Amino acid sequence: MGNNTSKSELILEDGSKFYGYSFGSKKSASGEVVFNTGMVGYPESLTDASYYGQILVLTYPLIGNYGVPGYEKEDNILKYFESDKIQVKGLIITDYSDNYSHWNAKKSLSEWLKEHNIPGMYGVDTRELTKKLRKKGTMLGKVTNDNKKISFEDPNKRNLMNEVSIKEPIIYKKGKKRIILVDCGTKNNIIRAFLRRGFTVIRVTWDYDFLNEKADGIIISNGPGDPKKCSKTIKNVKEALSKKTPILGICLGSQILALATGADTYKLKYGHRGHNQPCIETGTKRCYITSQNHGYAVDAETLPEDWREWFYNNNDGTNEGIIHISKPFFGTQFHPEASPGPDDTEFLFDMFVRSIK
């Protein structure tokens, strides 16, 4: 555990309080409090834009022991992070390891949080906190460090995709085949996965009108918040569905794809965030262990006749993927690109590639 003795407090909207010690930045922050059950992968998780606006609780007790990697780039993308900055509003853990050891580490977790002005809090009973969030559902909360009075802030009331998406298109050149990546808060590993497969990736803003772009495939990325706030993307995808260009939606992208078909989405009680979510492929007995990070889900009952449920969650039965019965349109609620977590389902990218003529 770190040697910091500065007290810190987490206050939830139901009035409950959790006490601990401060590490990282000393500022106060508010957001939606969510939990992740993964045992590793905090550098990837903290830079995943799907967590934007949220205070992240890590259930695994030992955090910080392998430090944080450096900012090396490959193909003009950071090698070890999922975006260019820490996306969470705050981090809540049980035991912080100030002494880190890893061949790739360049700094401590606390130093990295300070660098990005993000407050951390350790010494918290994250088991009790997680049980409360599972029972009552995701709640708003605030981490207070500096006696500054801040109010609760619900990030889901804003269009978060507009805040995390790039502002101008970026082209990552590789092969002759071109994929449009609609950036709603994309993870870098989605880009890496298609560069490895020899595709040129054209990364565009969340509201970019890509319908007249020359593309062999379209990917709608993951991202934060309520998919219904993404109205411009939904409109563009709806028009794209009248054509034959293959479309793949990932996480938020799967929800946007569903909304474009006329189906509905809803908010989960506490979401799925971790690396061991079991998903069954519909019509089979095959179960995949998947990496997930989402607070909303598709209502499979509302899918139109030419769509079917592709995967469902074996824990709670919620939708984990949709597929068109005849056209090359796919959506996965989990993350085939993993990072962090198992890459058992990356073969879905190869399936999407095969649908590209």
Model confidence at 5: pLDDT above 70:
no
- In terms of pLDDT, which residue wins out, 342 or 147? 342
State the pTM of this model.
Answer: 0.96
How many angstroms separate the Cα of 308 from the Cα of each of 17, 113, 200?
A: 44, 43, 30
Q: What's phi and psi for 40, nearest 5 deg?
A: -140, 175
| Identified catalytic residue from 82, 251, 279, 320 | 251
**End-to-end alpha-carbon separation of the chain, Å?**
54
Q: Are both 7-156 and 160-354 of the same fold?
A: no
Region 160-354: CATH code: 3.40.50.880
| CB-CB neighbours of 72 under 10 Å | 10
Q: pLDDT tens digit string along 282-304? A: 999 999 999 999 999 999 999 99
pLDDT exceeds 60 at position 2:
no
Catalytic residue among 32, 44, 82, 337: 337
CB-based contact 179:194 (threshold 8 Å): yes
| pLDDT score of 357 | 75
DSSP 25: B
The pLDDT score that the predictor gives to residue 67 is 98
User: Which string of b and e fits 318-329 if b means at least 16 CB within 10 Å?
Assistant: bbbbbbbeebbb
Domain assignments of the chain as residue spans, ordered by start: 7-156, 160-354
Task: Tell me the backbone φ, ψ of residue 18, rounded to 5 degrees.
Answer: -125, 135
Are 292 and 274 spatial neighbours (Cβ–Cβ below 8 Å)?
A: yes
Give the C-alpha distances (Å, rounded to integers) separating 5 from 21, 70, 123, 149: 6, 28, 11, 21
CA–CA separation, 215 and 133 (whole Å): 43
How far is it, in rounded angstroms, from Cα 53 to Cα 49?
9
* Average pLDDT estimate for 184-213: 96
How many whole angstroms separate alpha carbon 319 and alpha carbon 66? Answer: 35
281 as an active site residue: the answer is no
Write out the CATH class of domain 7-156.
alpha beta
Indicate whether 258 pLDDT > 80. Answer: yes
How sure is the predictor about 159, in pLDDT bands with cuts at 50, 70 and 90?
very high
To the query of whether residue 294 is one of the catalytic residues in this protein, the response is no
Tens-digit pLDDT profile for residues 8-26: 999 999 999 999 999 999 9
Residue 251 known to be catalytic: yes
CA angle at 20 for the pair 19 and 26, rounded to the nearest 5°: 110
The pLDDT > 90 percentage for the chain reads 96
pLDDT greater at residue 237 or residue 357:
237
- The predicted structure's pLDDT at residue 149: 81
